[in-house]
Homo-oligomer: A and B are copies of this chain.
Amino acid sequence: MTMSQSGGRRRPPTIHDVAREAGVSRGTVSRVLNGGHYVSPAAQEAVNAAIRRTGYVVNRHARSLITGRSDSIGFLLTEPQERFFEDPNFNVLLRGCTQALAAHDIPLLLMLAGTDDERRRITRYITAGHVDGVLLVSSHSGDPVAEQLRDAGVPLVMCGKPIGVGSKISYVAADDRDGARDMVRHLVSLGRRRVGMVTGPLDTPGGVERLAGYREVLTESGIELDERLVTSGDYSRASGEAGAELLLERAPDMDAVFVASDLMAQGVLSALQRAGRSVPGDVAVGGFDDSSAAVAASPELTTIRQPYDRISSEMVRVLLAQIGGEDPAAVILPTELVKRRST
């Protein structure tokens, strides 16, 4: 019972051991392992039995050395990390990607590039071929890392539309503009006419698109645009709070507000409450994301659901396809209006 002391890992069985055990050669075992054809049912069976008996697991390093693939994927975050780690959506995305990859038996390497130094180190690591591809989260504008990786020939998929247009980079995103349109149409259909907006950062495509959707619907509804009703935040709770205060000051008659993220909407709710406005009585509030922040808020937020579970699985699908040689692709997924108590 003391056969394996602490730190005393026994040398694991190799493909050689399996071959001997099954009475075949290394080549045959390798063929069975890699689903190759041209292997007899008898050998197939013998090898599988031997694998089970010996508890063999392939040595990925040896395999990678010869195939040149690492059979692993990097998940790279180049945003200021506080903001993203605060965002419940990020978690959903990370979890979804991990699970989608696990279904292919591919490990996910988590990489956080906060500083320039870290970014350089990680870029170097990636371009050295230590991962087969990268899932990139970086909505922040002017981030050169995406193009750098693409130019190095690294398969790459971004979450959200990249800023640098025209560049052949795969991405998966929710339909921001359409989502915004749905929400604003909903607010207008409730009879609200003085509809404000707290946008996201306007140097990101998401921020711009949601604002565009807002403007389109108001115009289509024959409601005059009023710039005093628009201010922008940075997706953080605090910036929502500040935004709402500003809007109330500039347009006290505001009767609805579309907020570009649930987290900011939480801040908006606080500010409205402090100003003595009831929600949704005086002011209807619509969020965006349908993150856990939406149900944590009180009243619970009407919001636009971004299908993060599908986004993550699509990112993985597109990335694996690209690694398999296919061309970069863009995927835009539909959003959904989720009605709750804040409107």
Hey, which bits of chain A sit against chain B, CB under 8 A?
4-10, 12, 57-62, 64-65, 70, 72, 75, 81, 85-86, 88, 91-92, 94-95, 98-99, 102, 105, 107-112, 114, 118, 121, 124-125, 127-130, 150-155, 168, 237, 266, 270, 292, 296, 298, 322, 325, 327-328
Contacts and interface: CB of A to CB of B under 8 A. Distances in A.
B60 A62 contact: no
A60 B6 CA distance: 26
Contacts of A124: 57
Contacts of A60: 61, 130
Residue picked from A5, A86, A266, most chain B C-beta under 10 Å: A86
Contact of A296 (B9, B99, B266): B266
A325 B59 CA distance: 23
A110 B108 contact: yes
Contact of A12 (B107, B129, B154): B129
A114 B99 CA distance: 10
B168 A6 contact: yes
A61 B65 contact: yes
A305 to B, nearest CB: 17
Contact of A4 (B75, B85, B107, B153): B153
Given A61-B65, A102-B118, 6 more contacts: A4-B152, A4-B153, A6-B153, A7-B155, A99-B112, A109-B109
Contacts of A110: 75, 94, 98, 107-110
Contacts of A91: 85-86, 91
Given A9-B129, A298-B270, A292 B86 contact: yes
Contacts of A237: 296
Contacts of A109: 72, 107-110
Contacts of A128: 12, 57-59
A80 to B, nearest CB: 12
Contacts of A112: 95, 98-99, 102
A86 B291 CA distance: 10
A7 B81 contact: no
A17 B137 CA distance: 35
A6 B152 contact: no
A151 B4 contact: yes
Contacts of A86: 88, 91, 292
A127 B13 CA distance: 12
A154 B9 contact: yes
Contacts of A125: 57, 107
A266 B297 CA distance: 10
A88 B91 CA distance: 10
Given A65-B65, A91-B85, A266-B296, A9 B152 contact: yes
Nearest to A75: B110
A128 B110 CA distance: 21
A168 to B, nearest CB: 7
